[in-house]
Structure 1
Amino acid sequence: MKFSKRHAAKTLTWRLVGTLDTMLLSWLLSGDLWIGLQIGGFELATKSFLYYMHERFWYRTKIKSANKRHIFKTFSWRCIGTLDTILLGWLVTGSPLTGLKIGTAEVFTKMLLYFVHEKLWYRINFGLDKRIKERRLQS
């Protein structure tokens, strides 16, 4: 599999936003800042890998409509991300209920944040040399 600067940059920017959101939600729902920091820390590793693989998968799809693509990507990523958060919350706190609460809260905050992130990155040509060349040829 070929390394993609664009997918790596998207992974890093999303991880910053996503991890801060998870840390805040974990802290608020557990009542313990240390738990929020732990879950966020573990998430950096697990979700960075999962997100990069998700980007590589979606890069190969043939969905032409940008809005459909963003919506499908938002939902597919949220399923993966929520399962990861629930498991991490459970492992860190020892409580499946706390993991479920954190994961459920994340569904709402992360769907909105992810959709905005996708819309912003769609406007950025970083790492899309092929797309830029095609646009120039069409002009």
Structure 2
Amino acid sequence: MDSRVRHITKSFTWRVIASATTFSLTLAFFGKAEIAMASWLTLLETSIKIAIYYFHERIWFKLSTKLSHKMRHIAKALTWRVIASGTTFILALLLFGGHKDALEKATWIALIESVLKMALYYGHEEIWYRINLGLDDRQKENAA
């Protein structure tokens, strides 16, 4: 099986976790009255970040490092968090720009999600490390 299937599947499983987290944080900061805007933020974020995450995965897959798998997962989590939280901040600011304290709230959403999602992402990586989906070719190459 092609490793691209693995990366696409990982992208979608991560987006479900991450989007639910963003939606919940947005409602917590902007209130349930803003459920439509929180939905738009989540939809936009999901659409944009699926593509960005796929390329992030492809880069890390091709990147040869001597890091242990745990350190590699931490490095991937850090690089992804910078990209992802920056994207969330910009989208939240654009969508809620006319809202009272939008800058402060967008900042808090990005900061809290950075910490929360880094832990969730590390766990996601650990689970996927144990799943062989899409690694058949890599395992054959390593055995040769």
TM superposition score normalised by structure 2: 0.87
Which of 41, 44, 52 matches 1:39?
A: 41
- Give the match's secondary structure for 1:126: coil
Following superposition, the deviation at residue 133 of structure 1 comes to 2.5
The aligned residue for residue 76 of structure 1 is 79
Structure 1 residue runs of 4 or more that deviate by more than 4 Å after TM superposition: none
For 1:73-105, what per-residue CA distance to the aligned partner results, in whole angstroms no more than 9, with x for missing partners?
A: 010000000000000110110132222121111
Which of 93, 110, 134 matches 2:117?
A: 110
- AA of the residue aligned to 2:137: K
Following superposition, the deviation at residue 131 of structure 1 comes to 3.1
Identity %: 36
For 1:25-65, what per-residue CA distance to the aligned partner results, in whole angstroms no more than 9, with x for missing partners?
A: 01111112222211111111111011001001101111231
Count matched residues.
136
The aligned residue for residue 20 of structure 2 is 20
Q: Is the 8 A contact 1:5 1:127 kept in 2?
A: yes
Q: Is the 8 A contact 1:39 1:89 kept in 2?
A: yes
Following superposition, the deviation at residue 71 of structure 1 comes to 0.6
Q: Is the 8 A contact 1:125 1:132 kept in 2?
A: no
Which of 55, 60, 63 matches 1:61?
A: 63
- Give the match's secondary structure for 1:133: helix
Comparing 124-133 with 51-60, which one deviates more in the overlay? 124-133
TM superposition score normalised by structure 1: 0.90
Q: Is the 8 A contact 2:73 2:125 kept in 1?
A: yes
